[in-house]
Amino acid sequence: MPGALDQVLVADFSRVLAGPYASMLLGDLGATVIKVERPGAGDDTRAWGPPYAEDGQSTYFHSVNRNKRSLALNIGHAADQHIARKLAARADIVLENFKPGALARYGLDYQSVAAGNPSVIYCSISGFGAGAGAELPGYDLLVQAMGGLMSITGTDEPTKAGVAVVDVLTGLHATVAILAALRHREITGAGQLIEVSLLSSLLSALVNQASGYVGAGEIPTFMGNAHPSIAPYEVYQTADRPLVIAVGNDTQFAALASTINRPGLAADRQFATNPARVANRAALTDELTIALRAQGADHWRQVLTAAGVPCGPINNISQAFALATELGLDPIALVGTAANGAEQVANPVKYSVTPATYHLSPPHVGQDNAAVIAEFDLA
């Protein structure tokens, strides 16, 4: 069955994570994605290991490069540059994450491409925008630090997230923008330039923390696993191991208090409302910890869940996949054919008519050069 983006051609000049994540999502939805990468080494993430997959490529590279065909080009050489320009001229979407302005020397910037392909949707991803921050390197860790995320993560010192979350968020923002631009082109016939930066994506994703600063002048700091505006909403120690409790309203708190045999807490002026609980967080934590240490995590999870109190264990990655499988979410997909495919994390969205497809395994560098050049008449 054709995907939602069937017959959409993507010329993907992006590297590493944010751009490749966006182009993979487009490929999952049926777009034809041509991954342009340097001959030999290819995308930097091919060397980012261990761990490595059975085909010898890094699992990092595998994570965002399925459903793509690899076209190895040295765009600094005239012949390869000619091929790259012809590809961009035919593409519905051009995606890149070079430093702003860097592709102009090759005739692959938006102005050059749009001159011959006015309906092109050209998505440019940068670390800090195309203005005064154009020369700053756009690495996720730097943006986590400079964008404020590390200042609100951790317990005793600034801490990065356990995954390159800014790159992933930026890839999602890029994908949403591209789909909106496709819809606009469908109506008007006009393409456009899309600019997405890691810093702007992060500031948007800081949501309540950023809004607290913009709207009230509050500058948050790290609080470990606690929430700045909700309590109890963190990790608590039981008799055997930690348990997350995520109470979002007073009704849930009353159910929690009753279930742990502390019904009076819900009527106590210190804890009766969420603002009161936040103001008296330390005292509340002491009360809850004493009660929760009376039983193990499994006991509390069972009785609290039955009482309508949101709670759960802290799973490792293996346990998380096992849970998703148990719940019927199908978190793993076979990419490629049964004979030479490999298991990967599935696209998280379920479509009733145009489901995600997994027809191409992550490519080796330049494996599709001859076929792509012939199919799209790029010589």
Q: Residues 6 or more apart from 214 whose CB is under 8 A from it?
A: none
| DSSP state, residue 265 | G
Give the pairing of strands 242-246 and 93-96: unpaired
Q: Residues 6 or more apart from 244 whose CB is under 8 A from it?
A: 225, 234, 235, 236, 311, 312, 313, 314
306 burial type by CB count under 10 A (0-12 exposed, 13-18 middle, 19+ buried): exposed
Please state, in angstroms and rounded to a whole number, the distance separating the CA atoms of residues 176 and 355: 17
* CB-based contact 169:201 (threshold 8 Å): yes
Cis amide linkage into residue 20, ω under 30° from 0: no
Please state, in angstroms and rounded to a whole number, the distance separating the CA atoms of residues 14 and 155: 35
- For residue 35, give the 3-state DSSP assignment: strand
* CB-based contact 69:368 (threshold 8 Å): yes
* CB-based contact 174:194 (threshold 8 Å): yes
What's the maximum distance between 2 C-alpha atoms anywhere in the chain? 78
Query: Could you confirm whether 167 is annotated as catalytic?
Result: yes
* CB-based contact 19:44 (threshold 8 Å): no
Please state, in angstroms and rounded to a whole number, the distance separating the CA atoms of residues 217 and 53: 48
Q: Which of 80, 109, 167, 368 is catalytic?
A: 167
- For residue 277, give the 3-state DSSP assignment: helix
Cis amide linkage into residue 232, ω under 30° from 0: yes
Bridge partners, residue 93, by sequence:
10, 121
Q: Which residues are catalytic?
A: 167
